[in-house]
Amino acid sequence: MSHPASEASPAPDASTSPVGAEGSVPATAQDAGPVAQPEPSGPALLEVKDLLVTFGRKKAFRPLVETRAVDGISFNLYQGETLGLVGESGCGKSTTARGVMRLVEPKSGSVKLNGKELLGLPIKELRPARKDIQMVFQDPYSSLDPSMLVRESIGEPLDVHMKMNRQQKTERVAELLRLVGLPPDYMVRYPHEFSGGQRQRLTIARAIAADPKILVLDEAVSALDVSTQNQVIDLLEELSQKIGLTYLFIAHDLSVVRHISDRVAVMYLGQIVEHGPTKAVFDEPAHPYTEALLSAVPIPSPKTQRSRERIVLAGDPPDPSRVPPGCRFHTRCAYAMDICRTVMPQPTPKVGGGEVACHLHTSGPMLQGRSLRIISTGSTRTIENDAAQVVA
Amino acid sequence: MTKAVSQSASSGAVLSDRPTLEVEDLFVEVLTEKGWATVVDGVSFSVARGETLGIVGESGSGKSVTCLSITGLMPPKQTRVRAKTMRLKEHDLLSLSPRQMADVRGPVISMIFQEPMSSLNPAFTVGDQIAEVLRRHEGLSRKAAKERAIGLLARVGVPNPARRFKQYPYEFSGGMRQRVMIAIALACNPDIIIADEPTTALDVTVQAQVLELLRDIQREHGMSIIFITHDLGVVADICDRVVVMYAGQIVEGAQLDTLFEQPEHPYMEGLLAAMPRMDNSLAELVSIPGNPPRVGAFPEGCRFNPRCKYADDRCRTGESPVLELAAPNHTTRCLRHDEITLTGTT
């Protein structure tokens, strides 16, 4: 961490502990909280450590402004699981995915796929190494070339990664179409002949063409209508069982994430603030941001929605190029203490598994990884905070 | 039956006085490559004073076109609009000239759109765009309009309104832009605001702020709101009464709680089962098979029949069924609503 405020923090090395690796959390924190339900064990399929992605913006006669879009995040992805990555726009979840795939070049950190380091590989070696990790994007209208037949679009990864003759290729495309629930004779059609849901099936077919192990789904169902969205979610669940796919599922819709994910990581301004098993994060949120985010999602049941506690955060998320010192969330946080304004919190283990980066757990009320519900007031709160207003 | 129902549908509001907006048998045709296609087919509803009516439907169901037709904002050469009644307070919208319609938009009815960035003019300051409305409709001087506009910016929760008045839209975040749009819509104290997916492009925490703001303003001014959305969570949060649209028709209409707890149309039942719920991960997601029909290719009989698990032979032939009363204040376009029992949410 090169953030000036973090130098004062008690356990600077804790920030390097990857999501899911319980062993590397600071000893003090481990003594304090009981650690139930360990994370998936065994070697991780994908190991991301201290990933840092920055964007520079140079204006004439002004110094370079550096935006740390992804600021030292770490997580592990295990075989067969679905890790949900949630957060608001601009928090760096898509940049994380792009950094992992080296679609943007990370500044530092490490990305290991099956134990093999991807960062720093020359592009010639990167291509075959990256075969195992493929991506599906949000907009199925712009991610298919309108002038290519379905057969050509889906067959393209086969040309790049597998040496196949014409007939093998046609057979493989037919098999892929069947796998995503479309008739094989659709391969001689153009994208404009398909609906949004069908197009998303095509992009999924293309993504799994070269037999990847991991699929990165960046808002892959967000552009679809509810009724078609579920069909695609069902397909993803079916594929994970049939061909053992592992998903990194990025979405802003928390209801969908809750449904599909085994574990969830919550991001705010380029950092993971809380992660853990889905149920633990959603039912027992330990970070004030997670709590506020969850309470902002309206529930499709009038009675439940009327009786819920609502936390309305003031202001917008701060500009990622001017992050506040200390805890990045303190400008909008209902529980902010003095320490939050100067010292960056370090991850501590959560009851029920996972980690949370918030001072409430190590000072003040000393929650020690327990749910925030212990100290919530149970009524509707509007958080007024001058700092947030100024930043906005 | 049809007549009786459309009357009861338009007087279905709980409040006893005359509704602010009444629409009866609205038909909208648009010119496509293949000729005229009916995109809104016999839509009737009314909105009472101070009421929030939700219009729910998937993309292409005709919910936006319905509202654009009411406000006279559909392109005139490619659109044909007819209706039995389209009354907004004392104005008969069907007989207004475009110029008269422009006088109604602003002081009587105004709209908030989904994309705050594309609805604001990037070349003018935010302040100018709010003041423009006041100068046009209330004939205020530059100075008076500026004062009122700054007051409006403060009202919708824009910090530093006097400084923000002089800034351009690009200097605002998405949530702040949507607040500016609300300020413009509010400028002349309209009787009714049509909000077309106003929070769809926003993050959930900002969405919560904007919904809260709309609720506060409605409480203050007693205005009516038509809230168009596809998100049943947002509907449950803000609406009093809801109509559900499918393939250009209203298929169900009821009070909020009734609609969610005892839906009377299989499409609404399907939508409820399809919504993943954040407070319950165990419930299995049930998809509605197939896709919504395309405009101009609506199926024979009930338009939902190819996707409906309850459909029988009667549903597959003839004209599309008419809206019937399933219970007091509860309409449905399902032929079999008496024979089937549908599940809602609690």
How far apart CA A298 and CA B69 sit, in angstroms, is 29
pLDDT confidence of residue A385: 42
Give yes or no for a contact between A233 and A227, defined as CB atoms under 8 angstroms apart: no
**Residue extents of the structural domains in chain A:** 4-132+213-391
Question: What phi-psi label fits residue B283: left (phi over 0), alpha (psi between -120 and 50 degrees) or beta?
Answer: beta
Burial A46-63 (b: 16+ CB within 10 A, else e): bbbbbbbbbeeeeeeeee
Record: contact B176-A316, CB cut-off 8 A: yes
Task: Fill in the amino acid letter for B299.
Answer: P
Judge whether residue B282 has pLDDT over 70. no
Set of chain A residues whose Cβ sits within 8 Å of the Cβ of B275: 226, 255, 300
Residue B152's identity, in one-letter code, is: L
Query: Chain centroid to CA A274: how far?
Result: 11
- Give the pairing type, strands A133-136 and A214-218: parallel
What is the CATH T-level fold of the domain A4-132+213-391, as seen in this structure?
Rossmann fold (3.40.50)
Instruction: Give the pLDDT confidence score for residue A171 in this predicted structure.
Output: 94
Q: What is the mean pLDDT of residues A48-67?
A: 84
Q: DSSP for B108-164?
A: TEEEE-S-HHHHS-TTS-HHHHHHHHHHHHH---HHHHHHHHHHHHHHTT-SSHHHH
Residues B169, B170, B172, B176: is their CA dihedral positive or negative? positive
- What is the H or E stretch that residue B325 is in? strand B324-327
In the block, tokens 């062993």 appear at A23
What would the mean pLDDT of B84-110 be, rounded to a whole number? 94
* Banded model confidence at residue B8, pLDDT cuts 50, 70, 90: very low
Residue A7 has pLDDT above 70, yes or no: no
Mean pLDDT of chain B: 89
Q: Which residues of B touch A182 (CB under 8 A)?
A: none
Mutate to test the interface with B, among A224, A237, A305 (most CBs of B within 10 A): A305
Q: Which residue in the block uniquely carries the two structure tokens 């065994």? A: A42
**Is B346 near chain A, with CB under 8 Å?**
yes
Inter-chain CB proximity A259 and B281 less than 8 Å: yes
**CB-based contact, B208 to chain A, within 8 Å:** yes
Per-residue pLDDT at B276: 84
Beta strands A311-312 and A381-382 are: parallel
Cβ pair B260:A302 closer than 8 A: yes
State the average pLDDT over residues A99-124.
93
Interface of A with B in 217-276 (CB under 8 A): 225-231, 233-234, 252-256, 258-259
Q: Counting Cβ atoms within 10 Å, is residue B74 exposed (0-12), middle (13-18) or buried (19+)?
A: buried
Q: Which of A76, A111, A70, A73 is nearest to A91 (CA)?
A: A70
Residue range B2-108+190-332 forms a domain whose CATH class is: alpha beta
Cα B55 from Cα A161, distance rounded (Å)? 48
**Which positions in chain B touch A300 (Cβ < 8 Å)?**
231-233, 235-236, 260, 272, 275, 277, 345
> Rounded to whole angstroms, how far apart are CA atoms A111 and A121?
11
> Residue A8 pLDDT > 50, yes or no?
no
Q: Is A384 on the interface with B (CB under 8 A)?
A: no
CA distances from A370 to A286, A293, A336, A383 (A): 6, 18, 17, 22
- What does the alpha-carbon distance between residue A14 and residue A111 come to, in Å, rounded to a whole number? 18
Mutate to test the interface with A, among B231, B281, B307 (most CBs of A within 10 A): B281
* Chosen from A259, A262, A386 to mutate, greatest number of chain B CBs within 10 A: A259
**Partners of residue B288 in chain A, C-beta under 8 Å:** 227, 230
**DSSP state, B285?**
P
Tokens of A115: 């134990």
**Digit-coded pLDDT (tens) for A357-369:** 999 999 888 888 8
| pLDDT computed for residue B263 by the predictor | 96
Main-chain dihedrals φ then ψ at residue A267, nearest 5 degrees: -110, 145
Three-state SS for chain A is CCCHHHHHCCCHHHHHCCECCHHHCCHHHHHHCCCCCCCCCCCCCEEEEEEEEEEEECCCCCCCEEEEEEEEEEEEECCCCEEEEECCCCCCHHHHHHHHCCCCCCCEEEEEECCEECCCCCHHHHHHHHCCEEEECCCCCCCCCCCCCHHHHHHHHHHHHCCCCHHHHHHHHHHHHHHCCCCHHHHHCCHHHCCHHHHHHHHHHHHCCCCCCEEEEECCCCCCCHHHHHHHHHHHHHHHHHHCCEEEEECCCHHHHHHHCCEEEEEECCEEEEEEEHHHHHHCCCCHHHHHHHHHCCCCCHHHHHHCCCEECCCCCCCCCCCCCCCCCHHHCCCCCHHHHCCCCCEEECCCCCEEECHHHCCCCCCCCCCHHHCCCCCCEECCCHHHHHHC
What phi, psi does A185 have (nearest 5°)?
Answer: -75, -5
Q: Where in chain B is CATH 3.40.50.300? A: 2-108+190-332
Report, as an integer, the average pLDDT of B207-211: 89
Encode B23-59: b = buried (16+ Cβ within 10 Å), e = exposed: bbbbbbbbeeeeeebbbbbbbbbbbbbbbbbbbbbbe
pLDDT of residue A18 exceeding 60, the answer is no
Task: Using an 8 Å CB-CB cutoff, list chain A residues near B211.
Answer: 298
Question: Residue A300 above 80 pLDDT?
Answer: yes
* Dist. CA A118–CA A126, nearest whole Å: 7
Q: Decide if A292 touches B, using CB distance below 8 A.
A: yes
Asked if this assembly's ipTM is beyond 0.85, the reply is no
Tell whether A390 lies on the interface with B, counting CB pairs under 8 A: yes
Which residue in chain A is spatially nearest to B58 when comparing CA positions?
Answer: A225
The separation between CA B242 and the C-alpha centre of its own chain, rounded to angstroms, equals: 9
**Which of A258, A279, A304 is closest, CB to CB, to B276?**
A258
Alpha carbon of A50: minimum distance to chain B alpha carbons (Å): 27
Q: How far is B339 from chain A (nearest CA, A)?
A: 25
Contact B279 A230 (CB under 8 A): no
Between positions 153 and 212 of A, the ones with CB within 8 A of B are 195, 197-198
Distance from CA of B278 to the nearest CA of A (A): 4
The count of residues in chain B is 346
Give the minimum alpha-carbon distance from B99 to chain A in angstroms, rounded to a whole number.
Answer: 37
**Considering only alpha carbons, which residue of chain A is nearest residue B213?**
A312
Tokens of B88: 């907004």
Among A297, A272, A300, A94, smallest CA distance to B205 is for A297
* Cβ neighbours of A389 (radius 10 Å): 16
Tokens at A104, concatenated: 């943007």
Kindly report the backbone phi and psi dihedral angles of residue A142, in degrees, each rounded to the nearest multiple of 5, phi listed first.
Answer: -95, -5
B176 and A392 within 8 Å at the Cβ level: the answer is yes
Closest CA to A369 of A342, A390, A392, A345: A345
Is B11's Cβ below 8 Å from some Cβ in A?
no
Q: Which of A230, A300, A305 sits opposite B287 (nearest CB)?
A: A230
Contact B257 A254 (CB under 8 A): no
Yes or no, beta carbons of B204 and A299 under 8 Å apart: no
Contact criterion met (CB below 8 Å) for A111 and A129: no
Contacts of A299 in chain B (CB under 8 A): 233, 236, 277-279
User: Given CB atoms, is B279 within the 8 Å cutoff of chain A?
Assistant: yes
Minimum mean pLDDT among A51-65, A142-156, B149-163: which range?
A: A51-65
How many other C-beta atoms lie within 10 A of the C-beta of residue A107?
A: 15
* Rounded Cα–Cα distance for residues A350 and B14 (Å): 50
Q: pLDDT at position B33, please? A: 86
Distance of CA B156 to the CA centre of its chain: 21
**Could you report the per-residue pLDDT of B116-158, keeping only the tens digit for each?**
778 899 999 999 999 999 999 999 999 999 999 999 999 898 8
Strands A246-250 and A82-86: parallel
Residue A40's pLDDT is 67
**A301 to chain B, closest Cα gap in Å:** 6
Contacts of A226 (CB under 8 A, 6+ apart): B58, B230, B232, B271, B274, B275
Contacts of B177 in chain A (CB under 8 A): none
pLDDT level of residue A28 (50, 70, 90 thresholds): very low
Work out the pLDDT band at A390, boundaries 50, 70, 90.
very low
pLDDT for A29: 39
Measure Cα distances from A297 to A61, A97, A312, B102 in Å.
43, 24, 11, 37
Asked if B282 has any chain A CB less than 8 Å from its own CB, the reply is no
